[in-house]
Chains A and B, each alone.
Chain A
Amino acid sequence: MINRYENVVIETVSRLLVPALQLFGLYVIAHGHGSPGGGFQGGCILAASFILMVIAYDIRVAKSHMSENLNTILCCLGVFIYGGIGLLCVILGGNFLDYSVLHKILPVDPVKARYMGILGVEIGVGMAVMAVMISIFLNIASRGEHEGHENSVSVSAGVSDRRNNE
């Protein structure tokens, strides 16, 4: 998981599986209105695709696709989108999280504006859940090591030794 174990079968299968998983996660988030799903489940599926990448390759390959700075920014941005939509409703003259007043800035009627508000909120929740799950998994799997830390190489070598001894 930390050091890369070359395995053609696992790497090929995960290379095929990761885009399909991410597409399914986006479908679950965007189509949470009509079918089971929503932000929480879709965010978990997106995080699962990233975790599959970490397990099949190693952490450095995975971090080249999603750096930890970007991850933390997404984590904060998700909660900010949720709160921002709520505050936007207050600014437009309604209650907190009362999406029907969003029809003043969206080209739809008040009923459809609530639909759009639910969609925006789900996107925020999905972003936050994905980023938090990835962050927790990276911190557990790498024991809190990150770029710019001087003991990073030696500690991960110790982990691989312990795994070989078992």
Chain B
Amino acid sequence: MKIIAFFATFITGFLLIYATVDMPDWGDPNSPPNAHVSPRYIEKVILETATPNIVTAVLADYRGYDTFGESVVIFTAGIICLMLLRRTSDD
């Protein structure tokens, strides 16, 4: 059983490492994420939102809907933990 688990892990790791070869180089200015959206954010973020930290501006303003979903996910996690772990008097 351990040998099967080892081979499954090995093959999955090999495929993951093989997939990273196709990724663009780190900091490559011509890669797709750096070529279209990022320059626009870097140029316009001070003019549009007056926020020096670009990450915060993208997170809370341009991609505000995503962050709203994220906070709802955290809220749901807290409520589910409350439901599963809390002991009521009838069990």
Contact = CB atoms under 8 A, between A and B. Distances in A.
Direct contact between the two chains A and B in their complex (CB within 8 A): yes
Interface of A: 32-39, 72, 75-76, 78-79, 82-83, 86, 96-97, 99, 111-112, 114-115, 117-118, 121-122, 124-125, 128-129, 131-132, 135-136, 139-140, 143-146, 149-151
A79 B70 CA distance: 10
Instruction: With a 10 A CB-CB cut-off, give which of B64, B65, B71, B81 has the most chain A CB atoms.
Output: B71
Contact of B53 (A33, A97, A114): A33
A144 B85 contact: yes
A75 B76 CA distance: 10
A72 to B, nearest CB: 8
Instruction: Give 10 closest A-B pairs by Cβ, nearest first.
Output: A132-B78, A97-B64, A139-B85, A144-B87, A144-B85, A114-B49, A118-B60, A144-B86, A115-B50, A79-B75
Contact of B51 (A118, A124, A145): A118
A35 B78 contact: no
Contacts of B35: none
B68 A83 contact: yes
Nearest to A71: B78
Contact of B75 (A112, A128, A143, A145): A128
B52 interface: yes
Interface residues of B, number: 29
Given A122-B56, A128-B75, A149 B49 contact: no
A25 to B, nearest CB: 16
Given A118-B60, A121-B64, A149-B89, A34 B52 contact: yes
Given A33-B52, A114-B48, A145-B87, A125 B67 contact: yes
B78 A135 contact: yes
Given A79-B75, A135-B78, 11 more contacts: A38-B59, A112-B50, A114-B51, A118-B61, A121-B67, A125-B71, A128-B74, A135-B81, A139-B86, A140-B85, A146-B86
Contacts of B78: 75, 131-132, 135-136
